[in-house]
């Protein structure tokens, strides 16, 4: 399936809009199934879990884009456990050449969880699985107004939020040593955070991996 609406924007982001409902529906269903599996382990839905579900959605779109561009890569499968033989010893979402990549995303929740474009990575996740070479920052839209957030996030509400997503911005990326350092550690929350600007997806990422983004531009015209 071609991603005809993965577009190149003037501000160096790659943005994917809902123009091919089959692809976004597929990615959302994968994210919801992942959420079901995590709920069995965690027992409840949190803002962090919803952000991770959005990360799964962004990962599916990103992998589809790499397929369209014929970029050789390997990836883990989010619907299989980390200890499954397919995912075992792969502490990444995607690997291009020797570079390991983790795709992160911000859910369309209102503050304090959302309405920002920061790149966040959980400290305990790094300690358990190890770090990647690159971290991609993405964000899901439309953003929700504060009055639409309930006091307690339920499974049904989280899935309803996933169903509303119609756009994903791939904002940029950071290298591990730029993100994972003491100055970026938010001790009270237990994660590292980095604010934009990041390395450009349109220029830096494409140049680094010899990706011809003109294919996407012509496909979106």
User: pLDDT (tens digit, 9 = 90+) per residue, 46-55?
Assistant: 667 788 888 8
The mean pLDDT of 142-151, rounded to a whole number, is: 75
Q: Which residue has the higher pLDDT, 64 or 18?
A: 64
Outline where DSSP puts E strands in 29-123: 74-75, 94-96, 99-106, 119-122
Residue 204 neighbours by CB under 8 Å, 6+ apart: 172, 173
The mean pLDDT of 60-79, rounded to a whole number, is: 89
Query: Is residue 135 within 8 Å of residue 83, measured between CB atoms?
Result: no
Tell me the pLDDT band of 116, cut-offs 50, 70 and 90. confident
Which contiguous run of DSSP H or E holds residue 205?
Answer: none
Task: Give the pLDDT confidence score for residue 3 in this predicted structure.
Answer: 42
Q: Which residue has the higher pLDDT, 101 or 30?
A: 101
Least-confidence region, from 36-45, 58-67, 157-166: 36-45
The answer on pLDDT for 114 being more than 80 is: no
> Residue 155: is the preceding peptide bond cis (ω within 30°)?
no
Tell me the pLDDT band of 37, cut-offs 50, 70 and 90. confident
Instruction: List, as one string, the DSSP characters of 132-167.
Output: -SEEEEEEEESPPPGGG--SS--HHHHHHHHHH--E
Q: For the chain, which residues make up each domain, given as ranges?
A: 6-220
Cα 130 → chain centroid? 18
The answer on pLDDT for 138 being more than 60 is: yes
Least-confidence region, from 45-49, 55-59, 109-113, 141-145: 45-49
Q: What tens digit of pLDDT does each residue of 162-208 get?
A: 888 888 888 899 999 999 999 999 998 899 999 999 998 878 888 89
The answer on pLDDT for 125 being more than 60 is: yes
Radius of gyration of the chain (CA): 17
């Amino acid at each position: 399936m071609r991603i005809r609406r993965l577009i190149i924007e003037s501000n160096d982001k790659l943005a994917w809009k809902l123009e091919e409902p089959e692809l976004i529906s597929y990615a959302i269903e994968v994210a919801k199934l992942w959420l079901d599996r995590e709920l069995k382990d965690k027992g409840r839905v949190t803002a962090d879990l919803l952000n991770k579900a959005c990360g799964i959605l962004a990962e599916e779109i990103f992998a589809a884009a790499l397929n369209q561009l014929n970029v050789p890569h390997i990836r883990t499968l989010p619907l299989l456990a980390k200890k499954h033989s397919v995912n075992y010893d792969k502490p990444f979402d995607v690997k291009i050449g020797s570079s390991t990549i983790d795709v992160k995303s911000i859910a369309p929740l209102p503050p304090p969880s959302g309405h920002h474009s920061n790149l966040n990575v959980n400290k305990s996740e790094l300690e358990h699985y190890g770090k990647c070479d690159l971290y991609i920052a993405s964000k899901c839209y439309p953003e929700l107004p504060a009055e639409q957030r309930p006091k307690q996030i339920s499974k049904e509400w989280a899935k309803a939020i996933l169903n509303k997503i119609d756009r994903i911005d791939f904002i940029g990326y950071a290298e591990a040593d730029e993100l994972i350092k003491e100055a970026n550690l938010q001790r009270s929350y237990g994660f590292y955070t980095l604010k934009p600007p990041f390395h450009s997806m349109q220029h830096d990422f494409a140049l680094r991996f010899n990706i011809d983004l003109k294919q996407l531009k012509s496909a979106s015209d």
